[in-house]
Amino acid sequence: MRLKSALLIFFLTFGSILGQPQFEKVTLKIDKISENLQVGETFELTVNATVDEGWHINSNTPREKFLIPSVIKAEGNGIELLEVKYPKPLDLKLSISEKPISCYEGTIKFVLILKAVKKGTTPINVKLNYQSCNDRSCLPPTLAEANTELTIKQDQIKSEADVTLKKEDDKEENTFGEKTAKEEVKTQEKVKVDAENKDVSAKENIKKVVTKKKESKGLFIIILGAFLGGMILNLMPCVLPVLSIKILGLVQQANEAKETVFKHGLVFTLGVLVSFWILAGLLLILRAGGESIGWGFQLQSPVFIVILVFLMFLFGLSLFGVFEIGTSLTGAGQNVTSKSGYSGSFFSGIMATVVATPCTAPFMGSALGFAISQPALISIIVFTAIGLGMAFPYLLITAFPKLLKFIPKPGAWMETMKQFMGFLLVATAIWLIWVLSSQVVSDSIIILLFALMFASIGAWVWGRWGTLMNTKKTRTIAFIVAAILVLGAGYKTIENVSDESNKLTASNSYSDIWGKFSPELVAELRNENKAVFVDFTAKWCLSCQTNKKVALHDSEVEKKFKEKGVITLIADWTNRDEIITKALEEFDRNSVPLYILYPKNGKEPIVLPEILTPSIVIEALEKL
């Protein structure tokens, strides 16, 4: 029954997705192309886009950074896209925006300048990437497509009319016969063109039906990927310290009533979900305000990192036994009342989410990138899927407490385990200090270390004189002294790292073979026909650091980079960087790690998985 309840909540949450409206609001139509083309010739392809009434799409140069631009391109084996002439946009004033937005509506014309580069019959596929909006809401980005066919000849082309006329002239120079031949050929060409247009129209109608089915299926796959990514997030190194403490709490609860254990699982899940909803809300609000941020944005703030360092360090001291803060904060410790136990489960869910943000598990990258670009409802649903995935294993264990039989029974080992977990939390604090060292000057790090020393003295004072064995007066004095030491140390540190003069810009932490990323440099290298590998990373991203040690710094991988002549660049997102944020968005991502391999000859870039091994990188390089 408990499992059914949990599954019911899950399906009710995502069932509404199937009822979402279709996202296609634009129809493309390609004008007829000249039939007399030869290799090397430049020509124009005119594409008419009709936007449904009551809707508009963003122009190719929207004024707000968070708006998704309309981008059109043409692909085909025998052509090369040289230039796109976009129509002049409209300035549209909407009730939801104080400033006019740059957009298109009605029927608009795109002119694509193409070059014929290969002899033969070439299918041409035109794609328009756009996001449609009305005065109330915006739909998810989607594609409109149209297809046509082009025949390119190597030599100077002679039309069928010319060939027929030549044959007629060879037989007899008859003006009447020439005119008759021309009229006949024109009639044949018209019939042929009409048949081709009907065939293209039929293909486009079939493709629309298939595309609509794919969109619905694609949205479900995104949500499923988000759920699986949330589950895998439990195995990431940034989450393990807090969740290990949660497991200790589950062991302690094993002897309680089954209903109580299940309630703890639900409260823990609620803590995770509330945290994800808050993060999603902040992301959407800040991006709507023009901020260039993404997943893990809070770890780009030195103030937030300092607060997290203090929390991890103090929790570690608590687990060591320096002082007791009970299960109401850590989820482990002495037996407490039911109320504080539930508070502990809720707080464990919050802490697990907060420390999870530096990590991006497999399947999560695409889901997060998709979520940020969607309307608020869909974004919240995707973030909910990640949260449910993260909490699902613990919800499952609490729904079936018999699963705890695989964990040793409560005993003295738990105290040892608890103290060992304290070292993991201290290690997490040290890692966060290392992240902070790339954001602020060294003097600020020294101030933080001294602040932690004073905070530990405050914790010791509370642990020594704040227990029930001491008088009320002694406990009150101990509390005041401890509060002054801890809060004072925290305040001075936050004040210091908030000072702009103490902040650093992101630095390159790789070896000399790695250059600093910029879109201009990538474009320049590609124009020189060089292969480029870009590592989108951040110091606070543990997955990034693991991939660096395991794969990117592997001797065989570095040897292969050199052998293939690949230029390696690093895009360091440790601190906020609008250029890197925009580059991530080009690949529908708003999180790191992201690994992009640009092949030679202007071929489409290759996106590597979030978790790398030397064999994965080498295999990708072998394809160059």
pLDDT grade for 297, boundaries at 50, 70 and 90: low
**Residue 457: predicted pLDDT:** 96
At residue 480 the predicted structure's pLDDT band, cuts being 50, 70 and 90, is very high
Between 8 and 377, the more confident residue is 377
Which one has a higher pLDDT value, 421 or 123? 123
Q: How confident is the model at residue 416 (pLDDT cuts 50, 70, 90)?
A: confident
Class of domain 24-155: mainly beta
Contact between residue 609 and residue 547 where contact means Cβ atoms under 8 Å apart: no
Residue 136: what pLDDT? Answer: 67
High-pLDDT (> 90) share of the chain, %:
24
In this prediction the pTM is 0.49
pLDDT (0 to 100) of residue 160: 41
**Residues 180-197 pLDDT 10s:** 444 544 555 554 445 445
Distances from the Cα of 490 to the Cα of 229, 423, 495, angstroms: 34, 21, 9
Strand order in the sheet with 594-598: 514-516, 567-572, 532-537, 594-598, 606-608
**What does the buried/exposed string (b/e) look like for 335-347 if buried means 16 or more CB atoms within 10 Å of the residue's CB?**
eeeeebbbbbbbb
Q: Quick one: what percent of the chain has pLDDT higher than 70?
A: 70
What is the predicted pLDDT for the residue at 177? 47
For the residues 295-317, what does the mean pLDDT come to?
83
DSSP designation for 77: T
- When pLDDT is averaged across residues 298-309 and rounded to a whole number, the result is 84
- Over residues 601-612, the pLDDT tens digits come to 888 899 998 889
Tell me the average pLDDT across 24-33: 88
Domain spans of the chain, in order of start: 24-155, 221-431, 440-503, 514-622
CA distance 403 to 25: 50
| pLDDT of residue 333 exceeding 50 | no
Looking at residue 535, its pLDDT comes to 95
CA end-to-end span of the chain: 55
Predicted pLDDT of residue 362? 57
Give the closest residue to 78 by CA, choosing from 39, 110, 43, 111.
39
What are the counts of helices (DSSP H) followed by strands (DSSP E) for the chain?
Answer: 18, 17
Same fold flag, 24-155 and 514-622: no
pLDDT tens figures, 58-116 = 898 887 766 788 999 998 888 889 899 999 998 887 765 667 888 999 999 999 999 88
Average pLDDT, the chain: 76
Least-confidence region, from 39-53, 79-93, 120-134, 181-195:
181-195
Say if CB 363 and CB 232 are below 8 A apart.
yes
- Backbone dihedral angles phi then psi of residue 376, each to the nearest 5 degrees: -55, -40
Alpha helices, DSSP H, located in 234-330: 240-253, 258-288, 302-320, 327-330
Output the six-digit token pair for 567.
């230029």
Q: CATH second-level architecture of 514-622?
A: 3-Layer(aba) Sandwich (3.40)
Whole-angstrom distance, CA of residue 327 vs CA of residue 336: 7
Burial class of residue 105 in the structure, from the number of CB atoms within 10 Å of its CB (0-12 exposed, 13-18 middle, 19+ buried): middle
What pLDDT does residue 228 have? 85
187-191, 202-206, 289-293, 418-422, range with greatest mean pLDDT = 418-422
